[in-house]
Structure 1
Amino acid sequence: MSKSSLQIAQFALLMSFLNFLFFHYPFFTFVFNHVDYKSFNGIIIIISLVIAMVVANFFAFYLFLFLSRYFGKFLLLLFFNINALAVYFINTYSVIIDESMVGNILNTNYDESSSFFSFKLIIYLLFLGILPSIYIIKTEIIKVSFKKFLTTFSVTLLFLLILVFVNAGNWLWIDKNSKTLGGLAMPWSYTVNTSLFYIHKHKKNEKEILLPNATIKDNKKSVVVLVIGESARRENFSLYGYKKNTNPYLSKTENLYHFNAVSSATYTTGGVKAILDFKKTDDLYEILPNYLYRNNVEVVWRTTNWGEPPVHIKNYQKRDFLMPDCKGEECNYDEVLLTGLKEQILSSTKNKILIILHTSTSHGPTYSKKYPPQFETFKPVCNSVELGNCSQTELINAYDNTIVYTDYILHNVIEDLKQLKDYNSTMIFVSDHGESLGEKNLYMHGLPLSIAPKEQYEIPFIVWMSDSAKQIKPNKELSQQYVFHSVLHFLNIQSPIYDEKLNIFK
């Protein structure tokens, strides 16, 4: 037998061992940090997980290769290269590849995904993906008889079952940490969670559940501008006591209120859906813009972002739609959303108007590219996509500049609304989720809400009103569902699903 020839079992075991060696440092770092590795039970858990990882992957690889050596090799090529990319992101940004993170990846557009490109990513892909792939392609696999396959397959399966029952006492610990363990186990983190994502997406793509009809109760001209922030965490707004002045405009604005709020998710699709839903739900109910549009309200959606539920309105406007009428460098940033905004409101033939601006200002990792140069208030800034290579000061400075720019955008929205003397107007700003900036060695967002740090779910909720006589309830902490009912109240729209408890206005 030549050196480049191996029997299926030998090849599958070698691939399983290399898969374990190359891609499971984050997995076992988590295990070591969450068990008492000096205790007998802790040692048993660690040893059992090592054996289970190698044997379970051998079991799967062996099966695939026996069914078809070509298909089995193709899967291994995919696994090693995707594993390399996955481990790069886990090591660089401390993410977990769970179902919500898979959704983030699959919904990411080209501009956003290209911002993660780095030399370090190429190194990961070359040494952990491409080089093993060359070996996989060149190695000749010697097939075995069905009887030998069945014997090996059965013994392996029996061994796995015995291992599971031997660890019956540790099931509780494994179950408690299953989401994190599953999100770090390669290649099953993304294969299983991608399947779950598409199963749940298919379920959600069923026809949306219509809400009961609503009634507009007066003819008073009213406009709500809902600004959906991206990755804006509360603690970096000086309105909330942050030591750096990141809100130079809003801090001087009259009739402005701010509330503590928490997001329903730590990722865009979940956070935006929660802002637009009338209650916290996984079901696909009719969202706010669709509901109001169907009930004769003028609705405009402007976006430089992505990830919202299906929007069924006439005026859905992306950056490409707005660019021809926008002049100046600011058109390359979120200011493009303000292009002709006041004019569009004035041109409406309806008395009730909802404008939604979905921004992308504070989305990482390229914070320093999310604002025009004149907004680089805090220096030095992080310019690397590998956030761990930047100092904490550089990273936070770059992020804080995105908040300064957000402050300016919100100020301009308010100034536009102030000029609409015939309208009763309000601006509501709420973020989809927060952001980690190196605290506990975590970056960006997307951790499961159950284990996410507060930086990823504590968000700002800021409200401005044109009518100084109108008052706000003294709420201590809001959820994202307050948006739906507050908008209905402000536009004086009566609906059977309206909940006064979730309305911020008196």
Structure 2
Amino acid sequence: MVKPVTSTRLVMLFSLCLVVFYNLATWRALVDLAQLQGVKAIAFYVSFALLLWAAITLLLTPFSFRATLKPVLSLVALCSAAAAYFMNTYGISIDTTMMENVIETNPGEAQALLSGKLFLYLGLLGVLPIALIWWLPVSYRRVLPGLVNKVLVCVGCLLVIAAAVGPFYSTYAPIFRDEDKLTHFINPTNYLYAIGKLTKQTVAIKETLNIQTVGADAALSPQAQQRPKKSLMIFVVGETARADHFSLNGYGRETNPELKKQDILNFTHVASCGTSTAVSVPCMFSKFPRTDYSDKKGKTYEGLLDMLQRASLKVLWLDNNSDCKGTCLRVPHRDIPKNQPSPFCDGQNCLDESLLVGLQDYIDSLQDNAIIVLHSDGSHGPEYYDRYPKSLERFTPVCHTNQLGSCTSDELKNVYDNTILYTDHFLAQTIELLKRNQDKVDASMIYVSDHGESLGENGIYLHAAPYAIAPTAQTHVPMVMWFGHSTLEDAGVDRTCLAARQDQPDLSHDYMFHSVLGLLGVTSTEYQPALDLFHSCKRNKG
């Protein structure tokens, strides 16, 4: 017969397990930040262990009642096991943006993340502790003595925290001053805090049900109305492409063999608005610059596509990614059906060329100025090998698993570069489609990736790192433009002048909103000429 443990002791033991077994990423981050040596290092790490143990105990003690203790500990064990897996495997941290990505992940993306290693984590750090928690007999105090005990435990935890931090305050202060450096790794407080913050944001957004109008005065300028041909822009939203893997930007491998044969303009220094699709996509179509953008603003204000539609342009959003993150909700939009009869779809996934299937028929039906947004799957990880056809697997051997840490650096680079090679092919095919229509419309293509990707540098994989500390690989994105033979001329833009801006160092997603308005000739009080790439190159800047 196993002797019962008190509810307080069970919480303390469970908290100790969290500190020791679930926080490997936290300890790694702490070692990098503290950079201490000798006896002082040992003493500091002991103090941090006490701090972490006391803080988690303080967090869980209010739930140590008979009705809540075991369910709450079980849920924390399972969620913490999953969090530990993703932090240890991909080198990510967990913040509000990451939790938003988790919530918005579709079944296909979720399936791509499944692996034997994940189930091993869930088994050893999730199911096994849960089984022990429910097997272990627990003794509970009566209500009043139990409440007193919990208060005393909480007070004791606060005293332990103070005693742990006090002697090392000068070391802790700079570490915790920037929360991105450590607290987003602490398991389970990282995801619990993120869920709480996200819930608060969601409630605040729901309180503002009315979408704020942006550009109520949007209209085609008289000059645009007098152009000899209608305008047709294809705006390609790239996925997870990093600029330094484009040979157009000086990368040693030839990853852009088809685009380099096209008469394109390649902008070499473009920064993303965020490090995840959930942030960057709505942000680049928003009137708000990155420094002023927020999730709430993205969800409660109209965007670029609403303005273009109000100015009588035909708008269509085609999606081969998770979804448009709210950007296309008020304009015609559709997902590419994965089971469509197409050589580019296999019933589960579609290659990006599926976005072009049937597009000529749509173009033939257009009678007005139009913009078509193609939201591509691009280089979406971790299953990079599913993003391109075998015929374009030029760089080998490749990483053929979602366990990126088990692949060599060369295998990971090879498979990722194959996705860039296919993006190059897809964009060239898009340009060829527009070329076939440039005699009847002023055709243009703008391609820009939503964010970049980490490929194991410094132990970091994938993306969605907090922007303040994100590596350049996640924020430096490629941007390519192509124009039909009369497009810039009819828009009054000097191509030579525009070409001279290709290496401008301070370009970013902030330019997208205003540049599209400027090229298509849409006027509005929301329009800012300083953020329009084309404005300074217009012959008539009125």
Structure 1 residues 18-76: Cα deviation after superposition (integer angstroms, max 9, x where no partner) = 2222201211121112113327765554333211221222233332122xx23221111
Name 1:155's counterpart in structure 2: 152
1:412-431 equivalences under 5 Å are 412-420=429-437, 421-431=439-449
1:214 aligns with 2:218: yes
In structure 2, how many angstroms separate the alpha carbons of the residues matched to 1:228 and 1:314? 16
Task: Check whether the contact 2:270–2:509 (CA below 8 A) recurs between aligned residues.
Answer: yes
**Percent same amino acid at aligned positions?**
30
Q: Do 1:239 and 1:258's aligned partners in 2 also have CA atoms closer than 8 Å?
A: no
Aligned to 2:250: 241
Per the TM alignment, residue 4 of structure 1 is displaced from its structure 2 partner at its CA by 5.2
Give 2:106's aligned amino acid: N
Q: Which residue of 2 aligns with 1:339?
A: 357
8 Å CA contact retained: 1:64, 1:71: yes
- Within a 5 Å distance, the mapping from 1:69-148 to structure 2 comes to 69-148=66-145
Judging changes above 3 Å, is the alpha-carbon distance between structure 1 residues 314 and 116 closer, same or farther for their aligned structure 2 residues? same
Indicate yes or no: 2:521 matched with 1:492: yes
| Per-residue Cα deviation, 1:364-419 (whole angstroms, up to 9, x for no partner) | 00001111111111111100111010011111110001111101111111111111
Aligned to 1:224: 233
Cα distance in 1 for residues equivalent to 2:45 and 2:442: 63
1:314 Cα offset (Å): 4.4
Give the TM-score normalised by structure 2: 0.88
TM-score using structure 1 length: 0.94
Aligned pair 1:56/2:55, yes or no?
yes
Whole-Å separation in 2 of the counterparts to 1:346 and 1:124: 53
* Preserved CA contact (<8 Å) 1:55 1:156: no
Gaps of 5+ in 1: none
Match of 2:189 in 1: 188
Q: Does 1:256 align with 2:262?
A: no
Moved more, 306-315 or 289-298: 306-315
Instruction: Please report how far the alpha carbon of residue 17 of structure 1 lies from its aligned counterpart in structure 2 after TM superposition.
Output: 1.5
Aligned CA distance change for structure 1 residues 231 and 109 (closer, same or farther; 3 Å) = same
CA displacement 1:123-145 (0-9 Å, x = unmatched) = 11111111111111111211113
CA contact (8 A) 2:219 2:523 kept: yes
**Deviation (angstroms), 1:317:** 1.3
With 143-152 and 427-436 compared, the bigger mean Cα shift is at 143-152
Give the length in aligned residue pairs.
Answer: 500
Alignment correspondent of 1:311? 328
Superimposed CA distance per residue, residues 242-286 of structure 1 (whole angstroms, 9 cap, x where no aligned partner): 111110110111143333201121111111122111231222321
The one-letter code sitting in structure 2 at the alignment partner of 1:341 is L
* Paired letter, 1:300: L
Moved more, 369-378 or 273-282: 273-282
Q: CA deviation at 1:183?
A: 1.8
Contact 1:375–1:404 (8 Å) recurs in 2: yes
Aligned residue for 1:382, secondary structure, equals coil
Please give the per-residue CA displacement for 1:269-311, whole angstroms capped at 9, x wherever unaligned. Answer: 1111221112312223211112211331100000011252242
Letter in 1 for 2:511: Y
Task: Determine the structure 1 residue equivalent to 2:370.
Answer: 353
CA distance in 2: counterparts of 1:488 and 1:277, whole angstroms: 12
Conserved? CA contact 1:342–1:417, under 8 Å: no
Structure 1: which amino acid aligns with 2:453?
A: E
CA RMSD of aligned residues (A): 2.0
Structure 2, unaligned runs of 5 or more: 538-542
The answer to which of 426-435 and 116-125 deviates more is 116-125
Moved more, 488-497 or 143-152: 143-152
Contact persistence 2:241–2:420 (CA under 8 A): yes
- The match for 1:25 is 24
Identify if the C-alpha distance between structure 1 residues 134 and 330 changes in structure 2 by more than 3 Å, giving closer, same or farther: closer
Q: Retained in 1: the 8 A contact 2:54–2:161?
A: no
The 2-side partners of 1:346 and 1:45 are apart by 70
